[in-house]
Structure 1
Amino acid sequence: MAVINFGGVEENVVTREEFPLAKAREVLKNETIAIIGYGVQGPGQALNLRDNGFNVIVGQRKNSKTWDKAVADGWVEGKTLFDIEEACAKGTIIQYLLSDAGQIALWDTVKKYLTAGKALYFSHGFGITFKEQTGIIPPADIDVILIAPKGSGTSLRRLFLAGEGLNSSYAIYQDATGRAKERVHALGIGVGSGYLFETTFQKEVYSDLTGERGTLMGAIEGIFEAQYALLREKGHSPSEAFNETVEEFTQSLIKLVAENGMDWMYANCSTTAQRGALDWRHKFREATAPVFRELYESVASGKEAEITIKANSQPDYREKLEKELADLRNSEMWQTGRVVRSLRPKS
């Protein structure tokens, strides 16, 4: 483990240099990794582990779309693809990668197979942190660990295939075997992480729920909507409003930030843009700071977990969700975006 200075604060991180793939394989050479769930995180993590040479099986419901997806990805029924209970029985490490709602629903089934010495692996701290609401309380004689890639399973897989990596946090909730640390580090490297940084289950879920509702999804969509609506109100065309609100951000500026940071992006924009951005950032920070504080408090109090669990437990939740997503998809801004994307030059 290396100690790295991040802006004056030291943190423990694990890199591929100090924990190479060969070491990860050695640590897990006698383990069977059972991936339970093949939806958002499951495919990327399972395929990366398989390609990296680990012993991986997938557990999924038969006669489902995700079962068919697993078959299409090369998992073979009876060899590397099993129903959920059989996979849980075979696995020494159970990667519990169902949705939060799915984890709650299946917990009574999965916990029967959590025998002494096994490891229960999460990619989100939700079920454990809010255990009073989820009912997910692991037995005391197993390891409970977490690897949380900082992005979607699709991104994890794409970066892996490109020879890159997606940074992940790691946490140990319970070390019953004395091997939890080496297990979690090996799994983090195995799934294709760029580097691993240390956290706790609670901190992971607090930061994750805040980020998803904030700058990663909720806040950015809200800002997009506000600016697009204003430009349209002031007589700008849909194409102009979308390009100035979304396209330039996603196709140009954010890539410059990713390459070298915000200051470098500013330095590579016009002096007019620099001056305006430097001045107005303070107004936006002060305007949104109370909203972010309210959001974090809602997460930490368990209110967001309660809302999520209640919504997902409704029998018509999927139908309601699809309507909300359709409203977003069919809005003028994102219909304009569909056309703009179609007009991008093809390589």
Structure 2
Amino acid sequence: MAKINFGGVTEEVVTREEFPLAKAQDTLKEETIAIIGYGVQGPGQALNLRDNGFNVIIGQRKESKTWDKAVSDGWVPGETLFEIEEACEKGTIIQYLLSDAGQISLWPTVKKHLTAGKALYFSHGFGITYKERTGIVPPEDIDVILVAPKGSGTSLRRMFLEGRGLNSSYAIFQDATGKAKDRVVSLGIGVGSGYLFPTDFKKEVYSDLTGERGTLMGAIQGIFAAQYDVLRANGHSPSEAFNETVEELTQSLMPLVAENGMDWMYANCSTTAQRGALDWWKKFRDASKPVFEELYKEVAAGNEAQRSIDSNSKSDYREKLEVELKELRDSEMWQAGSEVRKLRPENN
């Protein structure tokens, strides 16, 4: 493992230089990787593994949209695409990539195929960390491992096709075979990770739930909406408000921050922007930190997990979700965004 200094804190990470793809392929050459679930993470991880030369099969329900998607992606029924139970039986590594609610529902089916020596792989620590709530308790004679790409399955696939990698965390919950470390690192390399950093199942789910509700999705939408509303209330047009709130950030600034860091961004903008950003960022930090502290406590207490389980397992969840998404979609800000995207040069 490589030792990297992160702002004065030293971490051990795994890079593709020290654990090359050829080593990962050799480690898993006798394994059959069964991807259970072909929705959010499944396609990206499965296709990357296949393109990287691993033996991959898909387990999915027949006569479903995701079965049809798998077929369109080149998975062949009866050869590399099977019903879920058959894929679980064939797989020596079962990548459990259903939604958290889906994992709870299907667990009795999957568990009976987890025979001694197999590996159960997650990309989220939810099911194991909250096992008292989910009922997901693996047999003691299998490996239980995790690789969590820090982004969507779509981004994982897109970056792979561009020759880049999406960073991932990895964890070992249970090492029954003595091979869990080599298995999990090989899978992390195989799915297309840029580099791998160690965590544990609890830390992964705590950070993930906090991030999703915070800067990755919840907080950013709240900040977008607040700034957009203030600009509109003060007479700015929808086009101006959206461009200053969302478009400039996502299309211009964030790619540069990703490449060079925020300090570089501050150093390479106008002196007026520098002064304002330096004067105001701590005020936003101080205003939002109590919300993040409350959020983390709710995650650690299991309350956020229980809310998700209760909501997502209801039969009318999809219908209620569509109502909430429609509220976002139909808001003036995102209607303006739809029109702005159409005006981008690449769309004309």
Q: Give the TM-score normalised by structure 2.
A: 0.99
User: How do 1:169-180 and structure 2 match up within 5 A?
Assistant: 169-180=169-180
Per the alignment, in what secondary structure is the counterpart of residue 345 of structure 2? coil
Matches of residues 49-128 of structure 1 in structure 2 within 5 Å? 49-128=49-128
1:110-135 CA-partner distances (Å, limit 9, x unpaired): 00000000000000000000000000
Higher mean C-alpha displacement, 163-172 vs 5-14: 5-14
Give the match for residue 313 of structure 2.
313
* Match in the other structure for 2:345: 345
Secondary structure at the counterpart of residue 178 of structure 1: coil
Aligned to 1:262: 262
Aligned positions, number: 347
TM-superposed deviation, 1:77: 0.3
What is the Cα-based RMSD across aligned positions, in Å?
0.6
Q: Which string of whole-angstrom CA distances, capped at 9 and with x for unpartnered residues, describes residues 35-81 of structure 1?
A: 00000000000000000000000000000000000000000000000
In the other structure, the counterpart of 2:333 is: 333
C-alpha displacement at 1:268, in angstroms? 1.4
**Counterpart-to-counterpart distance in 2, 1:315 and 1:19:** 44
TM-aligned CA deviation for residue 274 of structure 1: 0.4
How far off is 1:256 after superposition? 1.1
Identity of aligned residues (%): 80
Aligned residue for 1:113, secondary structure, equals: coil
Please give the alpha-carbon distance, in whole angstroms, between the structure 1 residues aligned to 2:315 and 2:12: 44
3-state secondary structure, aligned to 1:137:
coil
- Which residue of 2 is the match for residue 44 of structure 1? 44
Q: For 1:309, what is the secondary structure of its paired residue?
A: helix
* Aligned match of 2:287: 287
**Amino acid of the residue matched to residue 201 of structure 1?**
F
The separation in 2 between residues aligned to 1:46 and 1:135, in whole angstroms, is 26
Q: Determine helix, strand or coil for the equivalent of 1:346.
A: helix
Distance in 2, matches of 1:4 and 1:302, equals 33
Paired letter, 2:208: D
The AA in structure 1 aligned to 2:139 is: P
Question: Structure 2, unaligned stretches of length 5 or more?
Answer: none
Distance 1:63 1:316 in 2: 21
What is the CA-CA distance between 1:18 and the residue it aligns to? 0.3
| Higher deviation after alignment, 149-158 or 7-16 | 7-16
Taking the aligned partners of 2:288 and 2:338, their CA distance within structure 1 comes to 29
- After TM superposition, give the deviation of residue 4 of structure 1 in Å: 1.1
Q: Which runs of 4+ in 1 moved over 3 A?
A: none
Amino acid in structure 2 at the alignment position of 1:210? T
Distance (Å, rounded) in 2 between the aligned partners of 1:52 and 1:263: 37
1:198 is the counterpart of 2:198: yes
* C-alpha distance in 2 between matches for 1:148 and 1:224: 27
Corresponding residue SS for 2:12: strand
Ranges in structure 1 where 5+ consecutive residues have no aligned partner: none
Shift of 1:3: 1.5
The residue identity in structure 1 corresponding to 2:33 is I
Distance 1:274 1:11 in 2: 32
Shift, 1:255, TM fit: 1.1
C-alpha displacement at 1:314, in angstroms?
Answer: 1.4
1:297 maps to 297
Who is 2:167 aligned against?
167
Note the C-alpha offset of 1:313.
Answer: 1.7
Residue 14 of structure 2 aligns with an amino acid whose one-letter code is: V
Quote how far apart the aligned CAs of 1:267 are: 1.2
Q: Does residue 218 of the first structure (1) align with residue 212 of the second (2)?
A: no
Q: Once the 2 structures are TM-superposed, how far is the Cα of residue 315 of structure 1 from its aligned partner?
A: 1.4
- What letter is aligned with 1:321? L
Paired with 1:14 and 1:115, the residues of 2 have a C-alpha distance of: 29
For residues 208-254 of structure 1, what are the alpha-carbon distances to aligned partners after superposition, in whole Å with 9 as ceiling and x for unaligned? 00000000000000000000000000000000000000000001111
Equivalent-residue separation in structure 1 for 2:107 and 2:282 (angstroms)? 46
What is aligned with 1:10? Answer: 10
* Matched residue SS, 2:10: strand
Paired residue type of 2:261: G
The amino acid that maps onto 1:312 is N
Which letter does structure 2 place at the counterpart of 1:276? Answer: G
Who is 1:207 aligned against? 207
| In 2: Cα distance, 1:319 partner to 1:309 partner | 16
2:26 alignment partner, SS class? helix
